[in-house]
Amino acid sequence: MTRTRRSLRRGIAWTAPLATAAVIGVAVAVPMAASAGTPGLAGTTPEALLAALRTTDVTHLSGQVEETARLGLPSLPGQDDTASLNWQTLVTGTHTGNLAVDGPQRQRLALLGTLAESDVVHNGSDVWTYASSTREVTHVVLPADRPDGAGTTPDPGDPMNATPLGAAQHLLAAITPTTGVSMAENTRVAGQDAYALVLTPEDAGSTIGRVVIAVDATRHVPLRVQVFGAGAPADPVFETGFTSISYDRPSAATFDFSVPAGATVTTRDRSTGAAKQPNGHTGTPAPTVLGSGWTSVVEFTPGPGALAALGPATGAQSGRSSTELLDRLLTVQPNGDRLLATALVNVLLTSDGRVFAGAVQPSVLQQASATR
């Protein structure tokens, strides 16, 4: 396959794997044909659909994406009307963004709010992020000769994880026998006929009950990803899907980025493999993925100002910092560690400053921390 025919899964490979990265196991070859009330599509099998997802030749698209998280958390500082790229924005409520992709070297995601917008722009060796609410720009310089998808490290906070392309990429990242694969009724997403691929974990340590991926029946692009928690709840605890989509190539100007007047710019040069901060110091160690499959865990050490960087709340949350609210959500463990529990992702903050996170039961996090 030539570079211009790379799949979209490769095209967004600059994004890092989710802390909750799950994997797909052996496909069950059971044909799924259309039933009454669903699109009349040709019959296929889970195995054939998985192969089609990996070999799709669509390299460019654009559209609007809607992401919803129902993790059981209260509204946190960093509300959706600020279009913040902070973690506390994307883990509660519903958020809308515009996505554009043109091969493995150009992607843009604009997170939209009532009064603000935040952008992530990847163009060649440059990755720019901008938040209009703070007027702060981060510029990351990637290695110029970096192969597609090579050299990435896990970043649970990467906003591309909130798109169907990013979420599906992580689900398709590896194959093990730990997943049952089947198909549900055909559906329609963003005006496109789609097959519904169902992934069911077979590992009791996972908090995920099943995942449903809607796949464009013609172009084999993931249009929607729905994650259901263990216990078979009626509604997905996390979902992201296109509400509109175009397969036309976006204009090259879409991926140009100009620093807004008055914005503060922080540059991180990773072209030589190290993240250099403006003060000359090297950045915090890259996160590490422990284990594999549905029970994989990400371990990382936050920078010294990580919690302080969350900043004070505003508006309805005035007088309460996000650090204070976070402290109220944490449960202190007998050994002094603290646990943040949600309907999908659990996070363990150890007393020595490490963080373990994943879509796993708390016991899996505790076991991971004890062996490191």
- Please determine, for residue 302, whether its predicted confidence score (pLDDT) is greater than 80: no
pTM: 0.80
- What pLDDT band is residue 148 in, cutting at 50, 70 and 90? low
- Please determine, for residue 179, whether its predicted confidence score (pLDDT) is greater than 90: no
Whether 269 is in a domain gets the answer no
More confident residue, 20 or 58: 58
Mean pLDDT computed over 285-292:
83
Same domain, 163 and 38: yes
Looking at residue 303, its pLDDT comes to 61
Q: Calculate the average pLDDT of the chain.
A: 77
Same domain, 302 and 249: no
Same domain, 294 and 338: yes
- Round to whole Å and give the CA distance between 160 and 47: 26
More confident residue, 147 or 134: 134
- What pLDDT band is residue 234 in, cutting at 50, 70 and 90? confident
- Please determine, for residue 173, whether its predicted confidence score (pLDDT) is greater than 60: yes
Range of the domain at 140: 3-255
Q: Where a domain ends, among 236, 255, 274?
A: 255
Whether 63 is in a domain gets the answer yes
- Please determine, for residue 283, whether its predicted confidence score (pLDDT) is greater than 70: no
Looking at residue 147, its pLDDT comes to 53
Looking at residue 144, its pLDDT comes to 72
Whether 270 is in a domain gets the answer no
Mean pLDDT computed over 91-103:
87
Structure tokens at 54: 């990996």
Same domain, 131 and 190: yes
- What pLDDT band is residue 315 in, cutting at 50, 70 and 90? very low
Mean pLDDT computed over 7-30:
36
Q: Provide the sign of the torsion angle of the four alpha carbons 370, 70, 157, 197, taken in this order.
A: positive
- Please determine, for residue 95, whether its predicted confidence score (pLDDT) is greater than 60: yes
Q: Where a domain ends, among 201, 236, 255?
A: 255
Whether 262 is in a domain gets the answer no
- What pLDDT band is residue 115 in, cutting at 50, 70 and 90? low
Share of the chain above pLDDT 70, in %: 69
Q: Where a domain ends, among 255, 273, 306?
A: 255
- Round to whole Å and give the CA distance between 62 and 138: 24
Same domain, 142 and 211: yes
Mean pLDDT computed over 164-187:
82
Mean pLDDT computed over 271-281:
50
Mean pLDDT computed over 197-214:
91
Looking at residue 86, its pLDDT comes to 53
Mean pLDDT computed over 89-118:
83
Same domain, 211 and 308: no
Same domain, 244 and 314: no
Same domain, 89 and 178: yes
- What pLDDT band is residue 158 in, cutting at 50, 70 and 90? low
Structure tokens at 51: 């192969």
Mean pLDDT computed over 300-317:
51
More confident residue, 342 or 39: 342
- Please determine, for residue 12, whether its predicted confidence score (pLDDT) is greater than 50: no
Same domain, 305 and 181: no
- What pLDDT band is residue 285 in, cutting at 50, 70 and 90? low
Tell me how many domains the chain contains: 2
- Round to whole Å and give the CA distance between 66 and 163: 8
Distances 59 to 17, 54, 124, 163, 168 between C-alpha atoms, Å: 20, 12, 15, 16, 15
Q: Give me the torsion for CA of 44, 45, 50, 53, rounded to 10°.
A: 10
Same domain, 300 and 167: no
- Round to whole Å and give the CA distance between 99 and 296: 28
Out of 110-124, 199-213, 298-312, give the one with best mean pLDDT: 199-213
- Cβ atoms of residues 138 and 270 within 8 Å: no
Looking at residue 236, its pLDDT comes to 94
- What pLDDT band is residue 77 in, cutting at 50, 70 and 90? low
Distances 50 to 144, 188, 198, 274, 336 between C-alpha atoms, Å: 32, 19, 11, 36, 44
Looking at residue 240, its pLDDT comes to 95
Looking at residue 336, its pLDDT comes to 86
Same domain, 187 and 305: no
Looking at residue 352, its pLDDT comes to 87
- Please determine, for residue 357, whether its predicted confidence score (pLDDT) is greater than 80: yes
- Cβ atoms of residues 358 and 204 within 8 Å: no
- What pLDDT band is residue 248 in, cutting at 50, 70 and 90? very high
Mean pLDDT computed over 132-155:
70
Three-class HEC string of the chain = CCHHHCCHHHHCCCCCCCCCCCCECCECCCCECCCCCCCCCCCECHHHHHHHHHHCCCCEEEEEEEEEEECCCCCCCCCHHHCCCCHHHHCEEEEEEEEEEECCCEEEEEEECCCCEEEEEEECCEEEEEECCCCEEEEEECCCCCCCCCCCCCCCCCHHHHCHHHHHHHHCCCECCCEEEEEEEEEEECCEEEEEEEEEECCCCECEEEEEEEEECCCCCEEEEEEEECCCCCCCCEEEEEEEEECCCCCHHHHCCCCCCCCEEEEEECCCCCCECCCCCECCCCCEEECCHHHCEEEECCCCCCCHHHCECCHHHCCCEHHHHHHHHCEECCCCCEEECCCCCEEEECCCCCEEEECECHHHHHHHHHCC
Whether 21 is in a domain gets the answer yes
- What pLDDT band is residue 55 in, cutting at 50, 70 and 90? confident
